[in-house]
Each structure stands twice: as structure tokens, then as C-alpha cells.
Amino acid sequence: MTNTTPPPAAGSAPPPASRPDARTALGWLHTAKFLTTAAQLHHLPAVQVPEIAFVGRSNAGKSTCINTLTQQKQLAFASKKPGRTQHINLFQLGKQNTTDAVLADLPGYGYAAVPKQDKIRWQQVMANYLVSRDSLVGIVLLCDPRHGMTELDEILLEVVRPRVEQGLKFLVLLTKADKLTRSEQARALSIARLQAGGGEVKLFSALKRQGVDEAAQLLWQWAHPEDQESGAAASPPA
């Protein structure tokens, strides 16, 4: 049978072989299962696979984001009293009883009703985790674009900046994007990109499923760098 597939246009680069389609990435995220929880950093088990942390201010939509990406309604727990969920929760990912990545759900920060000493303690725990966790390969910062990045968000950015400069992946998800007009979305993106310090910024809406596929694909790529390297090696030179 004659192959009628047209050749690629001259000068066009082939699509990266390592980039999964959204269905593959979401299917991988759907395998998420609870692994463990810890109130102190030294109680977390060491893991030998890539770890991706979700951080954000209380009420920024972090739990909803995790549950949407994993297609599980109650994987990440959202407290009825914001700021009261004060544990680092780990979820393992992988098919056929193998673990190839871990998601870390860090406590929401900045809620006014939390005692000051608890705020300070958790800021220290989170900062230590973000600076010293060896298995950490990427951070997802959840931000409500209606309020913009807060002082605590900016402090977090400064804490992780040295690791980001050394190659740590960083993504800002502007949650609840469905509550903004198109012009407000564009403005929020522009502002966040200036503040993200080299990280990626994407709009996200659990209600409208805006940005869900793109975020899932990006997380899959972060967790499978060896597939990206093999895909790049297999690609013919331009």
C-alpha cells in the first residue's frame, strides 16, 4: 500500500516524542493514592521518585485543583475551617503497583484566624521542605487571580528562587479563572508572568476545565525526564 502521509514542512521541528496526550497524562494522575501524612518534615519518608509539591494561600483552590487533576473528589482534603489542615500529605502515582512519582499537598497559608505561632511554625516547615527536600523536582503555586499574589506568595517565590535557577520546575496556576472576563484573564497572566521569576503561568478553572489538560501534561513531563531525554535522542536533526 502506498504511503500517502505528506512529509513534514521544510524547517518544521517534529513534535517532541516525550510529550503525552492529555488522556495519557490524566490517566496517570488518576492513579493517585494516599501515601502518608506528616506534621513535621523529619516524619516524611524519603522517596526515590520525582516529587511535585502543591502550595498556595488558604482558599486559593489547591484541594480542588488536586482533586480535578486526579479526577478524584476527595483525594485532597479541604478543611471547613481554612488554614486548619496543617499536615504535609503525600500521594503516590503509578500503574500496576509501581510508584513513579509523588504529589505533595502542603498546608494552605495566610489565613487570619490561625494563631500567629502556628503560622510561623508552618512557614518554617514549608520553607525547609521547599529548600531541602531532595526528591522535589517541581512546585505548583496556586493563586487566586482576583486577589493577585500576596506578600506570603512573594516570600515563597524568594525562598524557592535559588532552586528554580538551578533547574527546579515551577508553575503558577491562576485558579478560578472562570470568574474573570477574557480581558481580566489576559491582564492577570501578564502580571503573574512578571512575578513568577522564570516559572510558567497558566489559567486554571476546575468548573470549566480550563487549563486542566495542559497542567496534567506538564506534570507528567516533570515526572518523566528520562522519557523526554530518550525522545529527544530519537528525534532526527532538523
Q: Could you please report the per-residue DSSP string of 7-37? A: PPPTTPPPPPTTPPPHHHHHHHHTT-EEEEE
Q: How far apart are CA 84 and CA 109, in angstroms?
A: 9
Name the pLDDT band for 95 (thresholds 50, 70, 90).
Answer: confident
What's the pTM value of the predicted model, to 2 decimals?
0.85
Q: What is the mean pLDDT of residues 140-168?
A: 92
> What are the grid coordinates assigned to 14, written together?
517534529
Residue labelled with grid coordinates 489576559: 186
150: pLDDT strictly greater than 60: yes
Instruction: Please report, rounded to a whole number, the percentage of residues in the chain having pLDDT higher than 70.
Output: 80
Q: What is the mean pLDDT of residues 58-65?
A: 90
Residue 117's pLDDT is what? 72
Residue 142's pLDDT is what? 95
Domain covering 29-49+66-137+149-166+191-231 in this structure, CATH number: 3.40.50.300
Look up residue 5 and give its DSSP letter. Answer: P
Q: Is 54 helix (H, G, I), strand (E, B) or coil?
A: strand
Residue 49's pLDDT is what? 96
Q: How far apart are CA 191 and CA 23, in angstroms?
A: 31
Name the pLDDT band for 210 (thresholds 50, 70, 90).
Answer: very high
168: pLDDT strictly greater than 50: yes
**Shortest CA distance to 159 belongs to which of 135, 193, 133?**
133
Q: How far apart are CA 172 and CA 52, in angstroms?
A: 13
Higher local confidence (pLDDT), 140 or 58: 140
Higher local confidence (pLDDT), 126 or 118: 126
Name the pLDDT band for 74 (thresholds 50, 70, 90).
Answer: confident
Higher local confidence (pLDDT), 112 or 98: 98
Q: What is the mean pLDDT of residues 22-36?
A: 95
Higher local confidence (pLDDT), 189 or 84: 189
Look up residue 91 and give its DSSP letter. Answer: E
**Shortest CA distance to 89 belongs to which of 73, 110, 72, 108?**
108
Q: How far apart are CA 219 and CA 94, in angstroms?
A: 13
Q: What is the mean pLDDT of residues 205-210?
A: 95
Range with lowest mean pLDDT among 20-34, 67-81, 183-197: 67-81
Residue 111's pLDDT is what? 63
Name the pLDDT band for 11 (thresholds 50, 70, 90).
Answer: very low
Mean pLDDT of the chain: 84
